[in-house]
Structures are given as C-alpha cells and as structure tokens.
Copies of this chain bind each other. A is one copy, B any other.
C-alpha cells in the first residue's frame, strides 16, 4: 500500500518475530514454522513490504546488475544486441545498467565508475577498445566480456561472428554467379571487423585465382550513405566497371547503389551489390539488398551468458556464432 519505505524491522514487529525470521521467510532460505510463516506473510502483505535491494546488496556484495557499454544507442545493430542481453538478464533476475561508450574516453568520470564503485557485477562491452587506451587499462582487471568487437590478442572472453568467413561467403556467392571483376567498398579499419572483412574479400579472390586491381578497393572514411556514394563514384570512373561490389555495410551498399543508378547503371543487371548487416532498411530498399545477416540478439544473449558464467567462477570459452547470407534482389 504505502509508497513509503517500510523496513524489515516494521514487518518483524508487526508479525511479532525477529528480523531474521522475516528474512528467512522472504528468501525461503531456511525452514520456518508454517504458523510463523503465515504471520510474517500477513504482515508483509499488510505493510506492502518490499525488501530494500540496497541493504541486501551491501550485505551480500552482489548487485545483480550488469553494465552494458554501447557505442551508439541509436544504431539498430547495437539496439538489437542489447535486446538479446536484456532477454537473458531478465530471466536471471539481473538488471541492466546502460552507458554510452564515448569515442574519446575522459579520464576519471567514466562510465566504468559504476563498476569501479561496485554498482555492477560485470561489463558487456559492445564498443571497440584500443588495447593501448586508457579505457583498456581501466577495464582490463574487471570482470568483462566483449560482444561483437573482438580484441586481437586479448584473452578476454568474447562472442562474435566470423567476419572473415562471412566476407568469403559473400564474395564466393558473387564468384559463383560468374562475377570476376568484384570490387570492395570498405571502411577505415579502426574497427577490427572492417579489417577482417577486407581480408576475407582478398582471400576469396585469391583462392579464385583472380588478381585484384587495387583500384577495385575503395576505402571510405566512415560507413554512411554518402561514403558509399563517393566510393561508387570512384568505381564508375574506371575504364572497366566492375560487375559486382561487396560493401562491408548495408549503408555503404545503398549509397553505392544510388550512385550507380544515378549514372544510369542497373542493379543488379549492370552491377551486382552485396551488403553486410541486414539492416531493417535493406529489405525495404529497392532493389532489396542481398546481404550478410548477423544474429544480433543471439550475440547479446550469449555474451551475457558468458559473463554470467565468468562471474560464477567458470572460465567459459569464447564463442563464434553463425552468420548467413540473405539473398534478395541486389545481387
């Protein structure tokens, strides 16, 4: 009833028992006489008692909160991962603490405070962490797992897809359809995945015995539409236009397609385009995008299970989840 905080002592008093007994009843931690239990339960109900989480946490020094470090909330890719995280935290009775992982990490007032201050039991990091950075030094000794972004050489448990193989699959698909002059539109490689996807492209081409013309490879600054547009422009200026493009993100792919069309080229007839990510948008865009899909929710869920296992004292192995090529109209 009351919105006011009612402490366990009030319940004990009303029920005519000790606080220890109340605690036993609400936690089912030890056998309690049925009659006593009823008295306690009645008192709990009457007062609308809810155990204060803070008192409990202080005592047990376990917060049952997990911190999620997200590079960008508004990016649906991360949003879906968070959804996956949430699905398992909810089941396990954990709460989710969300923090923005800013590009430039300021010493001191960081999102990691929550963890340092023992507000959270562990961290799930979706952000890229430079091994040389302040952030890495801060986070290294903490119980954390990486999701989607894998740190090379780091021994931290992580879950992600095999970006290299996914790129190989995408390019192989193009190869199988008879393409030879396959271009790559990639992004600057601060993010490891960009690097890995690039290598996948290179390896698939090499395995097919195709010499890659360096001008087929366009590196965009970021990965938005405008960048894709520009990269496609560069491709368009080539004497022999590639017959297919693998873009390392759907946004890049869409920007490129727009450029091709503006130049009077048909997709996929004149030039086929494969993207990466399977954004909701890629289904609606015309032509609908052929693209590589990642299991985002699963990525988040597994990362969470990994962290929970780690917190439980286990030493779980990192996980690589399956990707899939979604074939639509653009290639």
Contact residues in B for A100 (Cβ distance below 8 Å): 83, 86, 90
Size band of the interface chain A makes with B: 35 or more
In whole angstroms, what is the CA distance A50 to B280 when docked? Answer: 43
- Stretch of A30-38, A172-180, A197-205, A281-289 lying at the B interface: A281-289
In whole angstroms, what is the CA distance A86 to B74 when docked? Answer: 11
The number of times this chain is found in the oligomer is: 2
In whole angstroms, what is the CA distance A5 to B80 when docked? Answer: 34
Q: Identify A254's interface contact among B80, B117, B254, B284, CB under 8 A.
A: B284
- Stretch of A52-60, A160-168, A308-316 lying at the B interface: A52-60
The residues in A between 82 and 107 inclusive whose CB is less than 8 angstroms from any CB of B are 82-83, 86, 90, 95-100
In whole angstroms, what is the CA distance A142 to B3 when docked? Answer: 7
Say yes or no: B118 contacts A3, CB within 8 Å.
no
11 A–B contacts from the bound complex (CB under 8 Å)? A5-B118, A50-B113, A53-B118, A54-B117, A74-B76, A79-B79, A95-B99, A96-B99, A97-B97, A281-B281, A281-B284
- Please name 18 further chain A to chain B contacts, defined as beta carbons within 8 Å, in addition to the given A5-B118, A76-B76, A286-B286, sorted by A numbering: A3-B141, A5-B61, A52-B117, A53-B114, A54-B54, A54-B117, A73-B79, A73-B80, A73-B82, A73-B86, A74-B76, A75-B79, A76-B79, A86-B98, A96-B97, A96-B98, A96-B99, A281-B284
